[in-house]
Amino acid sequence: MSRLLGKLAFIHRRLWQRDGWYKAATLFGPPPLIGAMLAATVWFGMTELRATSDQPIMWAKPAPVAEWKTSAHDAASVPPAGPLPATGADGMLVGYETGWRVTAHPIEISQTMDVDIKTTALAGLNVAGTSVDMSDILLGGPSGVLFVADGIGALVIRTPGIYALAARLTRPTGERADCLVRLGFANRRVVSNLEINLAATFARDFGPGYFDLQPGLYLLSWAFGCWHDREMSGTGRLTILIGHPGSEVPEPLGPDEIVRPKRAIK
């Protein structure tokens, strides 16, 4: 009740400052004034609704707390986070550009080898393409601290059907390392894996999760990092894989299948 009264008080102040007709209504007694306030409440509500519907999909970092339990015969039906935007003359989705939005976040590793990713963003990272190399992460990342790269993008789905999402970790020659791989989709985890003391040469696919999707934009996120003896390692690559309807083996995500909102030009 107090929340409603607060909203009505806010509307009253705004209308008293901006609307001469509202002031005039007070001279004719409570009925016209109450009618004016109710009409103003509806008007403000419709304004907020229109403002919300005109915005792109909510661009907040998903916080996966549960894991998807799916199979090829029991795909999870997931609604899109937003509709497909119109396509511009350049062939790109209006308001978006290809790629991920990536930041570096510090981590803490417990004695039981649980990895806690902190919410503090230490730096923005430049990750080109749909695969993530540790060499690129270290190039723009902080020094003197263990961290992982944390990426988010909008997965573009144009054709309805069953899709598979997975992650691939590869490491060429180099020192042994521990590597964290996480893949999130629509606020749940598809993959959450920590590989301990990996050999110099390593390749493994994690997942997949299966999803029944309709055309639209879906939030897709990942976390990735490798370290050795409390120092960051520059060797390792994370590749996000997708299996399209009718395909049996997931393949690397295409460059036009992941987008992010365009940054405002200052």
Extents of the domains making up the chain = 2-53, 76-261
The per-residue pLDDT for 37 is: 53
DSSP of 39-63: HHHHHHHHHHHHHHHTS-S------
Q: How many Cα neighbours within 13 Å face the side chain of 150?
A: 21
pTM for the complete prediction?
Answer: 0.74
- Quick: pLDDT tens for 22-65: 544 444 455 454 554 555 454 444 444 333 334 456 565 555 56
Q: Mean of the pLDDT values across residues 226-245?
A: 93
When pLDDT is cut at 50, 70 and 90, the band that residue 213 belongs to is very high
Q: Mean of the pLDDT values across residues 13-27?
A: 51
The per-residue pLDDT for 76 is: 94
Instruction: At 142, list the tokens.
Output: 């902080």
CA distance 265 to 35: 44
CA distance 45 to 66: 34
Decide yes or no: CATH 1.10.10 for domain 76-261: no
- Quick: pLDDT tens for 109-120: 888 878 999 999
- Comparing C-alpha atoms, which of 136, 98, 110 is closest to residue 235? 136
CA distance 187 to 194: 20
- Cα torsion 112, 116, 122, 123: sign: positive
The per-residue pLDDT for 122 is: 92
Q: Mean of the pLDDT values across residues 143-161?
A: 95
- Cross-strand pairs, 238: 132, 169
160: pLDDT strictly greater than 60? yes
**β-strands 237-243, 131-133 pairing:** antiparallel
CA distance 249 to 129: 21
What is the percentage of the chain residues whose pLDDT exceeds 90?
Answer: 51
Mean pLDDT of the chain: 81
The per-residue pLDDT for 6 is: 54
Instruction: At 50, list the tokens.
Output: 């229109």
CA distance 251 to 98: 18
- Quick: pLDDT tens for 78-119: 999 999 999 998 888 999 999 999 999 999 988 887 899 999
Residues in the chain: 266
Terminal Cα-to-Cα distance of the chain (whole angstroms): 43
